[in-house]
Amino acid sequence: MHPSDTNLNNPTPVISIRGLYKSFGDLQVLKGVDLDVFKGENVVVLGRSGTGKSVLIKIIVGLLKPDKGRVNVLGQEVENLSGKELDALRLRVGFSFQNSALYDSMNVRENLEFPLKMNVKNLTKKQINRAVEEVLNAVGLKEKMKQMPADLSGGQRKRIGIARTLILKPEIMLYDEPTSGLDPITSTEINNLINEVRENYNTSSIIITHDLTCAKVTGDRVAMLLEGRFLKMGNFEEVFSTDDEQIKSFFNYNFIT
């Protein structure tokens, strides 16, 4: 898929961010972020640890409030939404947490059922079972249905976390470091999963990572977050065929070590 095509066919972005500022006390994290994500597109956000990548996507789903700037998701200004409207929007946006954030007290099956049962009334047992099986098949972990999250490996937890967001059939997926702390083979599996999710669920995504393989495999466009703003945006080759020292050092570091 060519990124330029997606842009031409879908001129209105599903996520549009303008002039976003956020600080915690004296620490300025985001200093004027602009970003558009178009329908059907995977945008990768690269950046060093602590540059505010997680903060950025938490602002998109309204978990954090920006100091300044506009965030428009699926045609709605996040800041102006009432509690109910925000909930309705959140159902359309899947959020996969950096550390999976599975509910410790529930087994895998209950983890998956929980968002469904709480949000969709009057489902039959059969419908719930079918939905659970479908997402477990999508992430390839059908045999883990009865296990507790504590008994899963890191990669399995990530996949169950993704399955839990898929069960609500989101239009947008936000992945926070889906491959961090995983071995290269498991990382490849997750990268493939991200691409499969886009195909099968028709999602547009933001993928946060510092893993360049992940960026290359999953991203239509890559955006480099440095010192609170996007320094460079474009496809993978464009971003890294640059003379900018900071980007080059990021690139070199990733491939040498």
Partner 1 sequence: MSHSKSRHHIFSQGIDQYFTDVYNAWQFVLRFFREAFKPPFHFGEIIHQCYEIGCRSLALITLTGFVTGIVFTKQSRPSLAEFGATSWLPSLISIAIVRALASLVTSLICSGKVGSSIGAELGSMKVTEQIEAMEVSAINPFKYLAVTRILATTITVPILGLYCGFVALLGSYFNVHAHEDTSIISFFENGFSSISFLDIYTSIFKSIIFGFTIGVIGCYKGFNASGGTQGVGRAANQAVVLSMFLVFIEEIVIVQVSNWIRYY
Binding site for partner 1 (CB under 8 A): 24-27, 58, 61, 63, 87-88, 90-91, 93, 95, 97-99, 101-105, 114-115, 118-119, 164-165, 168
Map tokens 């493939």 to a residue: 192
Beta carbon nearer to ligand ATP, 64 or 88: 64
How far are the Cα atoms of 2, 3, 173, 251 from residue 254, in angstroms, in the given order? 25, 24, 25, 5
Beta carbon nearer to ligand ATP, 53 or 144: 53
Q: Is residue 55 involved in binding ligand ATP (CB under 6 A)? A: yes
Neighbours of 123 (CB within 10 A): 15
Map tokens 């209950």 to a residue: 110
CA 104 to chain centre: 22
To the nearest whole angstrom, how small is the minimum distance from the Cβ of residue 164 to partner 1? Answer: 8
DSSP 71: E
Q: Is residue 212 involved in binding ligand ATP (CB under 6 A)? A: no
| Overall residue count recorded for the chain in this entry | 257
* Binding residues among 70-99 for ligand ATP as defined by CB under 6 A: 98
55 binds, among partner 1, ligand ATP, Mg ion, none (CB under 5 to 8 A by kind): ligand ATP
Q: Is residue 29 involved in binding ligand ATP (CB under 6 A)? A: yes
69 binds, among partner 1, Mg ion, ligand ATP, none (CB under 5 to 8 A by kind): none
Among 39, 53, 158, 164, binds ligand ATP (CB under 6 A): 53
To the nearest whole angstrom, how small is the minimum distance from the Cβ of residue 124 to Mg ion? Answer: 39
Sheet bearing 68-73, strands edge to edge:
27-37, 15-24, 68-73, 76-77
104 binds, among partner 1, Mg ion, ligand ATP, none (CB under 5 to 8 A by kind): partner 1
Q: Is residue 181 involved in binding ligand ATP (CB under 6 A)? A: no
Q: Is residue 3 involved in binding ligand ATP (CB under 6 A)? A: no
DSSP 49: T
To the nearest whole angstrom, how small is the minimum distance from the Cβ of residue 181 to Mg ion? Answer: 12
H or E stretch at 9: helix 3-9
Map tokens 């620490």 to a residue: 27
d(CA 86, CA 67): 18
Picking from 172, 162, 56, the residue whose alpha carbon sits closest to that of residue 100 is: 162
Q: Which residues, including other chains, have CB under 8 Å from residue 93's CB and lie 6 or more apart? A: 60, 61, 73, 74, 170, 171, 172, 173, 174
118 binds, among partner 1, ligand ATP, Mg ion, none (CB under 5 to 8 A by kind): partner 1
52 binds, among ligand ATP, Mg ion, partner 1, none (CB under 5 to 8 A by kind): ligand ATP
